Amino acid sequence: MRILVTGAYGQLGQDVVKLLAAKHEVHGLGREQLDITNENQCFEVLSTLKPDVIIHSAAYTAVDLAETEEDLAYKINAFGTRNLAVAAEKIGAKLCYISTDYVFDGTAVTPYREYDNTNPQSVYGKSKRAGEQLVQTLSSNYFIVRTSWVYGLHGANFVKTMLKLAQDRDTIKVVSDQIGSPTYTVDIALFLEQLIQTERYGIYHASNAGVCSWFDFARAIFEESGTTIKLEPCSTEEFPLPAPRPRFSAMEHLAIRANGFEDLRPWREGLRAFLKELSEGAK
């Protein structure tokens, strides 16, 4: 397959490009090669490369900054996605849009299913949901893949932050009242490879299996890495941030099971694999 990956220098994009390039013709483009907010450029690039599928992982992801940069968040997440959807439709390419658990309000008590009502509370979540709606409206061959709590070898993430803080501190406080599912970039990339080779279009929830709080996740990071540190739980209110976070954003993988795909492994197994990759990369 010929695959175009947007956001190719981002945390997820880099692993998608690396893993899929082993078996497919992959064109990984960053914003210097493809400005998704430029409608004409989207059509020109797609017309030239003629990909079979576009994995659209480029996004405005500064969750807190989005509260004051609403126009920019929508320009990239909604209208940039629209431009790609229109261009993909013109050349007959499949479009796979990477979305987020932030499209939900977090008031549920059981994991969200793919077609549950969305109710984003932050500008970031609203702009990503707008992107989903534009894909659903403008594309005939689309996958929307919602993921959560993403971490990987490239870029900043919670796992790296915890390990770094542990070098400088004796005690770390971590929020214990936000529940979700950590997701290792390698695992989501492997799922995307399965998905895009089919015509089983629709919305998917793809995170590592199982749920935990940020506090549980931090404790697992330190246990698996052999780091000794005092960890204290705290509430969301103790760490106020500009953008509201979903208190509960665990996602049910109904579509993965119903469509016969292999589910992502449990989150702790993914974490273990990542820590191994991280330590090997440091050698």
Q: What is the pLDDT of residues 26-65, one digit of tens each?
A: 999 999 999 999 999 999 999 999 999 999 999 999 999 9
229 domain residue, yes or no: no
Q: What is the pLDDT of residues 250-275, one digit of tens each?
A: 999 999 999 999 999 999 999 999 99
165 domain residue, yes or no: no
Q: Which helix (H) or strand (E) is 227 found in, with range?
A: none
Q: Which helix (H) or strand (E) is 265 found in, with range?
A: none
59 domain residue, yes or no: yes
**Structure tokens given for 7:** 């956001």
46 domain residue, yes or no: yes
Residue 202 three-state SS? strand
**Structure tokens given for 182:** 């950590």
101 domain residue, yes or no: yes
Instruction: Identify the band that residue 283 occupies on the pLDDT scale cut at 50, 70 and 90.
Output: low
Q: What angle (nearest 5°) sits at the alpha carbon of residue 68, between those of residues 62 and 72? A: 65
Distance CA 255, CA 258 (A): 5
**Is residue 143 within 8 Å of 198, Cβ to Cβ?**
no
- Cβ–Cβ contacts within 10 Å for residue 110, how many? 9
217 domain residue, yes or no: no
Residue, of 95 and 281, whose pLDDT is higher: 95
Contacts of 110 (CB under 8 A, 6+ apart): 252
Please state the pTM of the whole predicted model.
0.96
Percent of the chain with pLDDT over 90: 97
Residue 282: what pLDDT?
62
For residue 120, what are the domain limits? 2-157+181-209+249-265
241 domain residue, yes or no: no
Q: For residue 213, list its beta bridge partners.
A: 179
**Is residue 29 within 8 Å of 8, Cβ to Cβ?**
yes
The CATH number of the domain where 27 resides is what? 3.40.50.720
275 domain residue, yes or no: no
Residue 280: what pLDDT?
86
Which 8-state DSSP code applies to residue 177? S
Phi, psi dihedral angles at 94 (to 5 degrees): -75, 150
Residue 1: what pLDDT?
95
Cα torsion 257, 260, 261, 265: sign: positive
| Pick from 5-9, 131-135, 236-240: least confident | 236-240
pLDDT higher than 80, residue 226: yes
Which 8-state DSSP code applies to residue 203? E
**Catalytic residue from among 124, 142, 184, 204:** 124
Assess whether 124 carries a catalytic annotation.
yes
Residue 239: what pLDDT?
86
How many domains does the chain divide into? 1
Q: What is the pLDDT of residues 173-223, one digit of tens each?
A: 999 999 999 999 999 999 999 999 999 999 999 999 999 999 999 999 999
Q: What angle (nearest 5°) sits at the alpha carbon of residue 51, between those of residues 78 and 92? A: 70
221 half-sphere exposure, CB direction, 13 A CA radius = 27
The two beta strands, 2-6 and 94-100, are: unpaired
Instruction: Identify the band that residue 281 occupies on the pLDDT scale cut at 50, 70 and 90.
Output: confident
